[in-house]
Chain A
């Protein structure tokens, strides 16, 4: 089962206009967007689908505050859809759509869809750095940062779910769908990657009571830590609420910066995540503040040691 990872996450929301504005400001591109919702895509065509909460075309809502209505997985080819259908219909309803995609629900009642991936191949450089002792990352006269530099989400990276039964959820994704556990944060749950993706995780579970069931966050990969911090800074300056970060996680090594959102989930910029193959042996450590991150910073307005005893603070409305 060559599952690549999330192609899309579908939300049935209270405030469509707020979500649309938020996702565009986050750096996604609106496709077919209007008063009833739309699709908001990253550079590779993965993204977030926003619909009205009462849209009858959506799978049923969870019996909690969660507005997540469906997780859409991309697979490599049609044969993978056949294999997933054959495996899952042994013990649950699997619906084949006209498009060839299939829909079902997982062991915890989260609605799933599998489709031949709609990701467009990306061909872009990663952030390039110079370091003594290493070959230069950038050519002479090539600058590291510039005003107005692009810092756009490249692809949907992962989602993190609040699940009442972590063991059952892990068994479903590993035994039934071929995901691999890469690391475990004891007291929370496992990080998982699907077969056709070498990212440290595209899925992570946090065990919670039933009434919390839902989505903790979703994340998009950026081109590097500089893009992450530039995009996050621009987002803060538009008035959005930073929740945690910027910082760098230990498991996965990814840089992170989380924001609150009108979808009722955190939305994360992430960058430079580890990659793994099957020789990797999962680590397990209890979830603590120290285990969770290598470093953590907090945004503040820009400042320079000039212009008198207070220094120079950022001008109101300044952008870059």
Chain B
């Protein structure tokens, strides 16, 4: 178990569902956590179509298609493989989402696994980047 602030409880991510979490208060970008086949996957909520990356959901936690088989960028409909982050259709073909690996910790909480999870993309503007 680590000291990092958890994103959520593991039980808050049902099989086949995705949710978005700010890695810490004021973060510029969210982390998408989704569960497939019992496993958790984490991706930076930052579509690689436009420079700098932009948020993908159409509403809070709205990251998936109706069949819950694809991660979608609801800016222009780019489709991503939820397990590899690879764009399979749309404006980001050939690009992929930035992985934000997560674990379900021994205390049942979901945490980012590498470092503090801080990246240039999630750092707040006032902290500089």
The interface of chain A, by Cβ under 8 A from chain B, is 14-15, 18, 22, 64-67, 162, 208, 211-212, 214-216, 238-241, 243, 260-262, 264-266
30 contacts between A and B (CB under 8 A): A14-B65, A14-B67, A15-B66, A22-B58, A65-B79, A65-B90, A65-B91, A66-B76, A66-B77, A211-B90, A211-B91, A212-B91, A214-B91, A239-B59, A240-B58, A241-B62, A243-B54, A260-B74, A260-B75, A261-B58, A261-B74, A262-B58, A262-B74, A264-B74, A264-B75, A264-B76, A264-B77, A265-B75, A266-B75, A266-B76
- The reply to whether A15 and B65 form a contact with Cβ atoms under 8 Å apart is yes
- The reply to whether B76 and A265 form a contact with Cβ atoms under 8 Å apart is yes
The interface of chain B, by Cβ under 8 A from chain A, is 54-60, 62, 65-67, 72, 74-79, 89-91, 93
Q: With contacts A18-B62, A22-B59, A262-B58 known, is A241 near B91, CB below 8 A?
A: no
| Residue numbers in A under 8 Å from B90 (CB-CB) | 64-65, 211-212
Q: Report A181 CB to chain B, min CB distance, Å.
A: 24
Which residue of chain A is the closest to B20 with respect to CB atoms?
Answer: A241
> When A and B form their complex, which 3 residue pairs have the shortest distance between CB atoms, in order from nearest?
A264-B77, A65-B90, A65-B77
Q: Report A251 CB to chain B, min CB distance, Å.
A: 19
| CB-contact partner of A214 in B56, B59, B77, B93, under 8 A | B77
Give A210 to B98 CA distance when docked, in angstroms: 25
Give A74 to B57 CA distance when docked, in angstroms: 32
Give A123 to B78 CA distance when docked, in angstroms: 40
- The reply to whether A67 and B62 form a contact with Cβ atoms under 8 Å apart is no
| Residue numbers in B under 8 Å from A240 (CB-CB) | 58-59
Give A209 to B59 CA distance when docked, in angstroms: 28
| Residue numbers in B under 8 Å from A239 (CB-CB) | 59-60
Q: Report A217 CB to chain B, min CB distance, Å.
A: 9
* Residue from the set A22, A214, A238, A260 with the largest chain B CB neighbour count within 10 Å: A260
Give A264 to B76 CA distance when docked, in angstroms: 5
| Residue numbers in B under 8 Å from A243 (CB-CB) | 54-55, 75
Apart from A214-B76, A262-B58: 8 A-B pairs, beta carbons within 8 A: A18-B58, A18-B62, A18-B66, A66-B77, A162-B76, A241-B59, A243-B54, A265-B76
Give A260 to B93 CA distance when docked, in angstroms: 19
